[in-house]
C-alpha cells in the first residue's frame, strides 16, 4: 500500500514534465530548428533596440554636426562609416536612419494589416454585397502596381515621411484583405464555428474569438515579409525625392544624395545600401522561418 | 475561348471606370489650383479665369468627369503643363524605351528565375539549392536603386565595359534590365522551386519513375508542364512589379522612359501627364493579367473557360 502510493507519487512529476503542447510551444519547437531564421530574428531584435536607443548612442549629431575638415572622408576610427559630402558622420546617420525605416515599415504594415484584416473578416464572413464591394475595392487597389499607387498618394497628399507611411499602408491593405478573406471563407463552414453559433454566440464573438485566431498565423507571416517590402518601398520613394526630405537621415534619401559623389566617395552609397539590404534580408528570412514554423502543410512531409 | 476573352474584357470595364474615376479625382484632390498652375506664375486673375474656362474647370464635377472620359475615348489627354505639348505625344515618345526595358527584364528574369528554381527543387536541400535560394532571398532584399548604382559603378565606371546612361544601343539595355529584373528573377526562383517541389511529390511523378522513364524526361515532361501553371500566374503579377520598378530604375540610369516622365510630372504637378500615365499603367497591368489568364488555359487543358 505504502509502496504503491510512493510509486504514484514519483510517477506524477514525470508526467508533469511532459509539458502540455500549446500552439505557442509547438511553434517555438519548430521555429527553434530554423537556425537562419533564429539569427535573423536576433538581428531584428538588435536592430529594434538600436533604433530605439539611437539618439543616445550616436557618436555625432546626425543632422547638425558638420566636420568641415573631413568632407567625403573614408571610414576611419573617428568616423566608422566615413563622412558625407556635407561633413556629417555616416555611422550616426545610418543609426538614426534605422529609426526612420523601422518606424515607417512597422507603422505602415501595422495599419495595412489592421484595416486589411478587418475588411477581410467582414468580406469573408458576410459574403454577398459586402464581399463584392470590398473585393472590388481591392481589385482597384491591385490594378495599380504598388509603388505607382504610393506615388499617386504622395502626389495627392504631398511629400514627406508621414505621407509615405500612409501610401505604403494603403497598398498593403488588399494583400491582407484577400488573405484573411480566403481563410475566413474556409473556416466559417467548419464544425466548431457551427457549434459556437448553435450555442448562441454573437457574430462579433464568432468573428473575433473563433475565426480571427485561425487567420493569425497567416497574417503574422505576411506581416514580416511585408515589412521588408515596405521598407524598400519607403526608401524608394525617398530616393525618388518624394519621401524624407534633406537633412533627414533616411537611407533611401542618403543613397540619392550619394549619387553625385559615387566616383570619389563610393562609401557614401555603400553603407546606406548595406543597411537597407541587411534590414530587409533579416525581415525576409524571419518571415520565411515563421512560415515554415506555422504552415501545417510542411509538417506532413 | 473567344467567348471567355470577350466576357473578361467586358468584365474589365467596371474596374477601368473606377480607376478612371479615381485618376480624375486625383486632380481635384491635388493641393493647389490646376487653373492657376496652368496659367503660369505671373498670370493675372483674369487670365486664370480664362484658363479655368478653357480647361472646363468652372463646370460642375460630373460634367468635368464626362468631358474627361470623352477625351480619353478620343485619345485626347490634354496638354502637358510643362512642355505645352499634347500628353499623347509626350507619352508616345517615351513608351517604347520603357516597353523594351520591361520586356527584356521579364525575359531574362523568367529564364534565370525558373532555371534557378528548377535546379533548387531537383537538388533540394543540397548545395545547388542552398546557393540558389541564398541568391534569391538576397535578390528580393536588395533595393533596385542600390543594385543599379552598384552595377553602374562596377561595370560602367570601374571596368568600363558598358555605357552608363542613355538608350542608344543594345548595350545600354544590359545594366538597367538586370537591375529591374533581379528582384523578379528572385521571386520567380523561389516560386518555381516551391511549385516544383510540390509537383515532384505527386503520385503521377512516382508513376512515371516507376515505369522506368529516365529522370530527365520525368522532370521536363511531367514536372515542368504542371509546375508552370502557378509560375505563369506569378509572371503576370510580376509585370506590374516591373512597371512600378521601372520608375526607380529609370531615375538611376537616366532612362528616357515613362517612369521618369511620371517623376518629373509629379515634381512639376503636371497633372494631365500624371492622369494619363496612371491610367495607362493600370490599363497595361489589367490587360497583362487577362493575357496571363488566357495563357493559363493553353498550358493547362484541364481548366475550362465558361
Which of A134, A155, A271, A289 has the most B C-beta neighbours within 10 Å, making it the best mutation to test the interface with B? Answer: A155
Helix (H, G, I), strand (E, B) or coil at A89: strand
Q: Which range, of A215-229, B3-17, B96-110, averages the lowest pLDDT?
A: B3-17
Look at residues B243, B207, B199 and name the one whose alpha carbon lies nearest to residue B223: B199
pTM: 0.81
C-alpha distance from B253 to closest chain A C-alpha (Å):
11
Q: What is the ipTM of this complex?
A: 0.78
Do the beta carbons of residue B142 and residue A290 sit within 8 Å? no
Cα–Cα distance between B87 and B276 in angstroms, integer? 7
Q: Which of A263, A273, A281 sits opposite B137 (nearest CB)?
A: A281
Is A43 in CB contact (< 8 Å) with chain B?
Answer: no
pLDDT 10s per residue in chain A (301 long)? Answer: 444 444 444 444 444 456 677 778 878 888 888 888 889 899 999 999 988 988 888 777 777 777 777 777 777 777 778 777 777 888 888 888 888 889 999 999 999 999 999 999 998 888 788 888 888 788 777 766 677 778 878 877 777 888 889 988 988 898 899 888 888 888 888 888 888 888 888 888 888 888 888 888 888 888 888 898 899 888 888 888 888 877 888 888 888 888 877 777 788 888 888 999 999 999 999 988 888 887 765 544 4
Cα–Cα distance list, B38 to A259, B58, B94, B169 (Å): 33, 14, 23, 37
Query: By CA distance, what is B158's nearest residue in A?
Result: A263
HEC assignment per residue over B150-174: HHHHHHHHHCCCCCCCCCCCCHHHH
A140: cell is 482597384
Q: What is the pLDDT of residue A188?
A: 83
Residues in A touching B293 (Cβ below 8 Å) = none
State pLDDT tens for residues A183-195: 888 888 888 888 8
pLDDT of residue B159: 79
State the pLDDT confidence band at B301, using cuts at 50, 70 and 90: low
Closest by CA position to B261, among listed B280, B238, B277, B279: B277
Which candidate, A220, A219, A230, A126, places its Cα nearest to that of A176?
A219
Q: What is the pLDDT of residue A281?
A: 92
DSSP string, B50-87: HHHHHHTTTS-HHHHHHHHHHHHHTT---B-TTT-SBH
Please state the rounded mean pLDDT for residues B249-263: 85
Helix axes A146-157, B271-299, angle to 10 degrees: 160
Q: Do B251 and A240 touch (CB under 8 A)?
A: yes
Q: Provide residues of B within 8 Å CB-CB of chain A.
A: 14-15, 18-19, 22, 26, 29-31, 137-138, 140-146, 149-150, 152-153, 157, 201, 240-241, 243-245, 247-248, 251-252, 262-263, 266-267, 269, 274, 278, 281-282, 285-286
Separation CA B92–CA A39 (nearest Å) = 50
Look at residues B297, B238, B287 and name the one whose alpha carbon lies nearest to residue B11: B287
pLDDT value of residue A144: 66
Q: What is the pLDDT of residue A117?
A: 93
Q: Are B245 and A156 inside 8 Å of each other by CB?
A: no
Listed in sequence order, the residues at least 6 apart from B194 whose beta carbon sits closer than 8 Å to its beta carbon are B121
Q: Which residues contact B80 (CB under 8 A, 6 or more apart)?
A: B86, B87, B90, B265, B270, B272, B273
Amino acid at each position: 500500500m505504502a509502496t504503491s502510493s510512493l510509486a504514484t507519487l514519483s510517477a506524477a512529476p514525470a508526467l508533469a514534465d511532459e509539458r502540455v503542447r500549446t500552439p505557442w510551444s509547438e511553434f517555438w519547437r519548430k521555429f527553434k530548428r530554423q537556425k537562419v531564421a533564429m539569427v535573423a530574428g536576433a538581428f531584428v531584435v538588435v536592430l529594434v533596440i538600436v533604433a530605439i536607443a539611437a539618439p543616445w548612442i550616436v557618436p555625432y549629431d546626425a543632422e547638425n554636426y558638420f566636420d568641415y575638415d573631413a568632407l567625403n572622408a573614408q571610414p576611419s576610427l573617428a568616423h566608422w562609416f566615413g563622412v558625407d559630402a556635407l561633413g556629417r558622420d555616416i555611422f550616426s546617420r545610418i543609426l538614426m536612419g534605422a529609426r526612420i525605416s523601422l518606424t515607417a515599415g512597422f507603422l505602415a504594415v501595422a495599419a495595412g494589416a489592421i484595416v486589411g484584416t478587418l475588411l477581410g473578416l467582414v468580406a469573408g464572413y458576410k459574403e454577398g454585397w459586402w464581399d463584392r464591394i470590398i473585393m472590388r475595392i481591392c481589385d482597384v487597389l491591385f490594378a495599380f502596381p504598388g509603388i505607382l499607387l504610393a506615388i499617386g498618394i504622395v502626389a495627392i497628399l504631398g511629400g514627406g515621411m508621414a505621407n509615405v507611411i500612409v501610401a505604403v499602408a494603403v497598398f498593403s491593405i488588399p494583400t491582407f484583405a484577400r488573405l484573411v478573406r480566403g481563410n475566413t471563407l474556409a473556416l466559417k463552414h467548419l464544425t466548431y464555428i457551427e457549434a459556437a453559433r448553435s450555442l448562441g454566440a454573437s457574430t462579433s464573438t464568432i468573428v473575433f474569438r473563433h475565426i480571427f485566431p485561425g487567420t493569425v498565423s497567416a497574417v503574422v507571416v505576411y506581416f514580416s515579409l511585408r515589412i521588408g517590402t515596405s521598407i524598400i518601398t519607403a526608401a524608394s520613394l525617398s530616393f525618388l525625392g518624394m519621401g524624407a526630405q534633406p537633412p533627414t537621415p533616411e537611407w533611401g534619401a542618403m543613397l540619392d544624395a550619394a549619387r553625385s559623389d559615387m566616383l570619389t566617395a563610393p562609401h557614401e552609397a555603400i553603407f546606406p545600401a548595406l543597411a537597407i539590404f541587411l534590414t530587409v534580408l533579416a525581415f525576409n528570412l524571419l518571415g520565411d522561418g515563421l512560415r515554415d514554423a506555422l504552415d501545417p502543410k510542411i509538417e506532413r512531409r | 475561348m473567344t467567348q471567355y476573352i470577350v466576357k473578361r474584357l467586358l468584365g474589365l470595364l467596371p474596374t477601368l471606370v473606377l480607376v478612371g474615376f479615381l485618376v480624375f479625382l486625383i486632380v481635384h484632390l491635388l493641393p493647389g489650383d490646376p487653373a492657376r498652375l496652368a496659367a503660369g506664375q505671373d498670370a493675372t486673375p483674369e487670365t486664370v479665369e480664362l484658363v479655368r474656362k478653357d480647361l472646363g474647370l468652372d463646370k460642375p464635377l460630373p460634367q468635368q468627369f464626362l468631358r474627361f472620359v470623352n477625351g480619353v475615348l478620343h485619345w485626347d489627354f490634354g496638354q502637358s503643363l510643362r512642355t505645352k505639348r499634347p500628353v499623347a505625344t509626350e507619352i508616345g515618345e517615351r513608351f517604347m524605351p520603357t516597353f523594351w526595358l520591361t520586356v527584356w527584364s521579364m525575359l531574362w528574369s523568367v529564364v534565370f528565375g525558373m532555371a534557378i528554381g528548377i535546379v533548387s527543387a531537383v537538388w533540394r536541400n543540397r548545395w545547388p539549392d542552398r546557393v540558389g535560394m541564398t541568391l534569391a532571398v538576397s535578390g528580393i532584399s536588395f533595393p533596385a536603386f542600390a543594385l543599379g548604382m552598384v552595377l553602374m559603378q562596377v561595370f560602367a565606371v570601374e571596368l568600363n565595359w558598358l555605357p552608363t546612361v542613355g538608350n542608344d544601343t543594345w548595350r545600354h539595355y544590359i545594366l538597367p534590365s538586370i537591375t529591374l529584373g533581379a528582384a523578379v528573377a528572385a521571386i520567380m526562383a523561389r516560386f518555381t522551386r516551391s511549385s516544383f517541389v510540390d509537383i515532384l511529390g505527386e503520385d503521377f511523378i512516382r508513376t512515371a519513375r516507376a515505369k522506368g522513364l529516365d529522370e530527365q524526361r520525368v522532370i521536363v515532361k511531367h514536372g515542368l508542364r504542371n509546375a508552370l501553371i502557378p509560375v505563369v500566374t506569378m509572371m503576370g503579377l510580376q509585370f506590374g512589379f516591373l512597371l512600378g520598378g521601372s520608375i526607380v530604375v529609370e531615375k538611376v540610369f537616366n532612362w528616357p522612359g515613362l517612369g521618369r516622365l511620371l517623376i518629373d510630372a509629379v515634381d512639376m504637378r503636371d497633372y494631365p501627364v500624371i492622369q494619363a500615365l496612371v491610367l495607362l499603367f493600370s490599363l497595361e497591368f489589367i490587360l497583362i493579367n487577362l493575357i496571363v489568364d488566357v495563357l493559363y488555359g493553353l498550358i493547362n487543358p484541364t481548366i475550362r473557360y465558361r
